[in-house]
Amino acid sequence: MDRRSFMGRAAVGAVGISAGNAFGKDGKANDQTKKKTRRNRIGVSTYSFWQFRRADLRDIEKCIDLAAQMDFDGVEILHKQMENEANDYLQRLKRRAFLLGLDLYGFSTHQTFLSPDKSIRQRNVDHTIHCIELAYQLGIPTMRVNTGRWETSKNFDELMKNRGIEPPLPGYNDEQGFGWVIDGFEKCLKSAEKCGVSMGLENHWGLGRTPEGVLRVVRAINSPWLQVTLDTGNFLEDPYPKLEMIAPYAVLVQAKTYFGGGLWYTLDLDNDRIAEMLHRHGYKGYISLEYEGKDDPLAAVPRSLAVLRKAFAVT
């Protein structure tokens, strides 16, 4: 037997041994194989440190360093937190994360298509495409997007006081809004596919406040390049059946914690129940911490990591 024949037979034998260990004679997976489910990686959004209010924790390089010190697996970058978009800065962030053993896995952006002004909607299309290109430069594979809001609330505090509900602009309605949102995201699909960046529509405010609203947009677009960013803390009433509705489409999960009480509200989330549900739907991606409590992030973020590690451990 020549060397090539020997190596070929050896490789086939190794595959057979591996398959024999994984599957019984009936072709079904062994119990031991079934138990080996890889845990979800746990990352942290830079928002968890900054929270739009802690100037000393805004610097993204500092947030990357803190994430590594706290033993996270990766970092999600909040676009509004960035103070620089120059390419040398983007590549510096990417290199810093790599050398610290961290993934840059998510890019959290803001846009709105809820405007009767076509030029405003186009500016938001252009902005979203620009953010897709930034994510590509950073090597980030998924990007959080929103429908936007009607902006009829006086401010965000008033919106939260009203549980995220606000009326449409006078003379317009949600039905028109859905058309604008769907049209806006359709215009971003080619860029998302070209850059390999999956947009994830978050269950957020505006037309994404309900699972039905999120799914209406995602199903209308019908593309692998627009799926769902599932946020565990944005369904304020009876969250679990609503989270289950959007779970099959999730490309990223943002998990909320509220140590010290929430900045706007506090939810008593059952993370074990959420983890079981996501595992049942086959979700294997990142769990991205969005800490939204009043306690000092330098203490509360590591506590939050412990909570999420326990809930999303191997099952």
Model pLDDT for residues 168-195, shown as the tens digit of each residue? 999 999 999 999 999 999 999 999 999 9
Between the alpha carbon of residue 160 and those of residues 121, 137, 225, 234, 291, the distances in Å are 25, 34, 30, 11, 17
Cα separation, 128 vs 109, whole angstroms = 8
Q: Tokens 């998302």 identify what position?
A: 192
pLDDT, average across residues 199-206: 95
Compute the distance between CA of residue 259 and CA of residue 295 in angstroms, rounded to an integer. Answer: 6
Determine the straight-line distance between the first and last CA of the chain, rounded to whole angstroms.
46
Q: How many CA atoms lie within 13 A of 294 on its CB side?
A: 7
Residue 4 has pLDDT above 80, yes or no: no
pLDDT at position 35 is: 53
pLDDT value of position 143:
98
Q: Is 57 found in the same domain as 32?
A: no
What pLDDT shows up at residue 24?
52
Q: For residues 102-109, give the mean pLDDT.
A: 98
147 and 15 assigned to the same domain: no
Residue 255's domain comprises 39-311
Q: Tell me: do 29 and 45 sit in the same domain.
A: no
Tally of structural domains, the chain: 2
Q: Among 33-37, 74-78, 200-204, 272-276, whose mean pLDDT is lowest?
A: 33-37
- Are 179 and 54 members of one domain? yes
Q: How confident is the model at residue 8 (pLDDT cuts 50, 70, 90)?
A: very low
- Please, what is the average pLDDT of the chain? 90
8 Å CB contact between 111 and 83? no
Q: What is the 3-state secondary structure (H, E, C) of 128-195?
A: HHHHHHHHHHHCCCEEEECCCCCCCCCCHHHHHHCCCCCCCCCCCCHHHHHHHHHHHHHCCHHHHHHH
The reply to whether 133 and 196 lie within a common domain is yes
**Same domain (yes/no): 16, 100:** no
Residues 144 and 50 in one domain: yes
Reported as half-sphere exposure (CB side, CA atoms, 13 A), residue 211 has a value of 20
The pLDDT of residue 192 is 98
